[in-house]
Structure 1
């Protein structure tokens, strides 16, 4: 891992993740932990640079849609206690999974093609179908 990647991970740990957690708290009224598996980003500065826009911005928009009313807020708080984000090398490994209170989001965050990413409507449909 190079200096650029270490700096981006530190920046995300200090600023991005606390902001994402605060946004989740605001939208659903409960605490949801956010964990990034940094080892998948160690040699991928492009994924680190795009993590906010390619992953979190879209996921947060979908959560905001789900939590538009008290029913959605309660359902999300009941089913999602942690969000785990992974960077995977290929679109074939991209996954969304909700199990035991953990929402796992794996994508090719450095991708410039949709096949490795999720649109906020995909997150929204996924969440609504599992809450």
Structure 2
């Protein structure tokens, strides 16, 4: 990881994640922690880090979908308190899992192709588990 990646990661940690967590709280009505495995994002170059905004947008939309009413808010709060993001250079690693109050998403933001879960895919998956 070079200086540019370190600076961008720090900027995301200090500025974007707190703002993103505030948006999630506004939609869900409770605190949702966002945990990023930084080593999997900064091991390459700045590109995967710059794509995190796309993932954040899909996550915000997913939370908005689930939490459209009090029943959804209560159900999500019972099952999810953390979102954990991991990046991989292998498209076959892209997956999601809701376990132990953590929604773990593995995305592939490294190469020219881009693979992550859409808001509707995340919503469909999580809603079945609530």
TM-score normalised per structure 1: 0.92
Q: Is the 8 A contact 1:32 1:81 kept in 2?
A: yes
Stretch deviating more after TM superposition (67-76 or 104-113) = 104-113
After superposition, where does 1:76-115 map in structure 2 within 5 Å?
76-110=76-110, 113=113
- Distance apart, 1:68 and its partner CA: 0.3
Q: Is the 8 A contact 2:89 2:110 kept in 1?
A: no
Classify the secondary structure of the residue corresponding to 2:98: strand
The equivalent residue for 1:49 is 50
Q: Is the 8 A contact 1:111 1:117 kept in 2?
A: no
Distance 2:113 2:128 in 1: 25
Distance 1:109 1:74 in 2: 32
Q: Is the 8 A contact 1:107 1:118 kept in 2?
A: yes
- Distance apart, 1:44 and its partner CA: 3.1
Mark the runs of 5 or more structure 1 residues left unpaired by the alignment.
Answer: none
| Aligned CA-pair RMSD | 1.3
The equivalent residue for 2:118 is 119
Aligned residues: 129
Distance 2:68 2:88 in 1: 31
Distance 2:112 2:53 in 1: 14
Distance 2:16 2:68 in 1: 23
Mark the runs of 5 or more structure 2 residues left unpaired by the alignment.
Answer: none
Q: Is the 8 A contact 2:89 2:111 kept in 1?
A: no
Q: Is the 8 A contact 1:21 1:33 kept in 2?
A: yes
TM-score normalised per structure 2: 0.93
